[in-house]
Amino acid sequence: MSSLNLDDFTDLIERPDGGVRRDAEARRERLIVPPGSLGRLDDLGEWLAAAQGSVPVRPVERPRVLLFAGDHGVAELGVSARPAGSAELLVRAILEGASPVAVLARRLGVPVRIIDMALDCDPDTLPEEVVRHRVRRGSGRIDIEDALTLEEAEAAFRAGVALADEEADSGTDLVVLGDVSVGGTTAASVLVAALCGTDASVVTGRGGLAIDDLAWMRKCAAIRDALRRARPVLGDQLQLLATVGGADLAALTGFLLQAAVRKLPVVLDGVVVAACALVAQRIAFRAPDWWLAGHGSGEPGQAKALDRMALEPLLEQGVKVGEATGALLALPLVQAAAALAAELPEKPESEEKPESEEKTAE
């Protein structure tokens, strides 16, 4: 029996400040650029103001990329274009600066933090700051066995909570959140299908390396088998993560919830993060108010999850590589919205005549 009371998050998470948002909207009406002419950038600026509790909005100056890493036993079934247990290679590429997210982060000046929750490798082969939160070596094969024990799921969830506190306490003002996994999209698709009440075929995508038709059918079958194991535990979100999730997914869920508690805005990446966000929403319905959907990856499970949470992607570039690459592409858009909202001048007072005065003048 877990000692973790997930219901506490419902009470702890507040919505972004509605009064501040109205003040931001009022200020927007006074700017020299006509309302609506900046499209979604207006909404983004107002959302940031409410999240920060500040008008005008403060610039986003200390963003960070956080990546939760893990291997999933279900990859043994050939559901991924990558070999089972090979997520360590992806982590090494990021650490060496040779991955898409590393290139973009270097260009944008954003630090990247990788957290190993369940990589299938010797922890001594990776830096201590990467492996210090690891819960286990690989997660179980969810079509026939639990991904984690309940104790492991709780440990991973609490690690995610602690990491959200670390980031908030260190002054991080926005997190770009992603995953580094092999088999992770299969586990994520199970969570989305279970929580949305849909069939496996509706949420089964082809992953970052576009698996062929045979692999897609194997993936669909694995999701269908795991769904049968997920449905009996739908009422217990921690047990759900233990049954068909994984250590990285449990940590992502804990991070998302605690980030909302700490009023730390988060940009969501692909289907894995979207699935964890969906679990977090089931725990605390106000939590999605603190998140932005960075991009649409084209994965059906991600689209289903974002639609359920009423989150519209900022970008549609079809980026499927994962590792927060697509979400990081959206960061300059968020920073641009903050700059425009804060730095555009207001109209001169002479141009702000009350409507009654304008009618009199006519």
Residues acting as catalytic residues: 323
In whole angstroms, what is the distance from residue 258 CA to residue 265 CA?
11
Please list, in sequence order, all residues whose beta carbon lies within 8 angstroms of the beta carbon of residue 19, skipping any fewer than 6 positions away.
none
In whole angstroms, what is the distance from residue 192 CA to residue 234 CA?
11
Contact 295, 261 (CB under 8 A): no
CA dihedral 179, 200, 281, 52 (to 10 degrees): 40
Helix (H, G, I), strand (E, B) or coil at 315: strand
Residue 56 to residues 53, 211, 291, Cα–Cα distance (Å): 9, 47, 20
Q: How many CB atoms lie within 10 A of CB 162?
A: 15
Reference 48, options 352, 266, 344; nearest CA is 266
- At 221, the amino acid letter reads A
Q: From start to end of the chain, where are the E strands?
A: 63-71, 112-118, 174-182, 266-268, 291-293
